[in-house]
Amino acid sequence: MPIGKRAAAEFFGTFWLVFGGCGAAVLAAAFPNLGIGFVGVALAFGLTVLTMVYAVGHISGAHFNPAVSVGLVAGKRFPASELLPYIAAQVVGAIAAAGVLYIIASGATNFDVHNGFASNGYGEHSPGGYSLLACIVAEVVLTAFFLLVIMGATDRRAPKGFAGLAIGLCLTLIHLIGIPVTNLSVNPARSTGPAVFVGGWALQQLWMFWVAPLIGGALGGGIYHALFAESSLAVAQKSAPDLVAAGD
């Protein structure tokens, strides 16, 4: 598949992730009298990934996240030469989604983008007031485990057809853990989209939501490859059973 088509798939997948997840947070989380709350937002993020894995995963691999792309490079599942086009498509998709969400949210008379707009933050901008160190540790650990699940669920030895379900549920779980800490990123593109429209503190703190998820993604991908990847001999034996049989 040409890199242009794969980048387009990453654009639309990341757009859907940011629009669906952040849209749920901005438009529905605290809706008067019947908000969906943290659980609803966590499910929204998980469902966006789950649906897009099955929609375009066969085209681009369904990264939708620079930390996932970096983690897959570290895990020897994705070529480093294609990293920049993927990350560019993901970031542009996230900003476009945040722009559409901004237009919709601005239709409410009481909307104020400076109230957060689903941006990620630490310290006084953490939903629970968590320190910078606590937020860095949370983002690194949760991103690393996200990559472990992705690597394991997409391993050729794993049950076929269930990767999207495992990945989507994992993203839901880590949102349930991390929303009170940082509003949960584990995805630099997801953090960048809303921050562009909030400006100020959101852009000033954005560095952490690039650094920590990228470190976590590289750790998760590298750990899985180092500890759990099939040996080259095992892969060769599984990929040529007919040749073995013919030689008997």
For 35, the token pair is 């908000």
How does residue 30 score in pLDDT terms, banded at 50, 70 and 90? confident
* For residue 181, pLDDT beyond 70: yes
> Per residue in 220-240, pLDDT tens?
999 999 999 987 555 555 655
Domain ranges of the chain: 3-247
Q: What percent of the chain has pLDDT over 90?
A: 87
Of the options 1.10.10.10, 1.10.275.10, 3.10.450.50, 1.20.1080.10, the CATH number for the domain spanning 3-247: 1.20.1080.10
Q: Please tell me the predicted confidence (pLDDT) of residue 247.
A: 45
* For residue 23, pLDDT beyond 70: yes
Q: What is the mean pLDDT of residues 26-48?
A: 89
Contact between residue 190 and residue 65 where contact means Cβ atoms under 8 Å apart: yes
Kindly report which listed range (50-54, 125-129, 148-152, 228-232) carries the lowest average pLDDT score: 228-232
Q: How many CA atoms lie within 13 A of 206 on its CB side?
A: 19
Collapse the DSSP code of 107 into the 3-class scheme (helix H, G, I; strand E, B; otherwise coil) and give the result: coil
DSSP-assigned states of every residue in 208-232: HHHHHHHHHHHHHHHHHHHHHPPPH
Q: Please tell me the predicted confidence (pLDDT) of residue 245.
A: 43
Q: What is the pTM of this model?
A: 0.92
How does residue 242 score in pLDDT terms, banded at 50, 70 and 90? very low
Contacting residues for 5 by C-beta, under 8 A, at least 6 apart: 59, 60
Question: Is pLDDT larger for residue 34 or for residue 2?
Answer: 2
* For residue 11, pLDDT beyond 60: yes
In whole angstroms, give the CA distance from residue 186 to residue 199. Answer: 20
Q: What is the mean pLDDT of residues 10-36?
A: 91
> Per residue in 185-213, pLDDT tens?
999 999 999 999 999 999 999 999 999 99
Q: What is the mean pLDDT of residues 147-154?
A: 98
Mean pLDDT, the chain, integer? 93
Collapse the DSSP code of 110 into the 3-class scheme (helix H, G, I; strand E, B; otherwise coil) and give the result: coil
Question: Is pLDDT larger for residue 245 or for residue 85?
Answer: 85
> Per residue in 59-89, pLDDT tens?
999 999 999 999 999 999 999 999 999 999 9
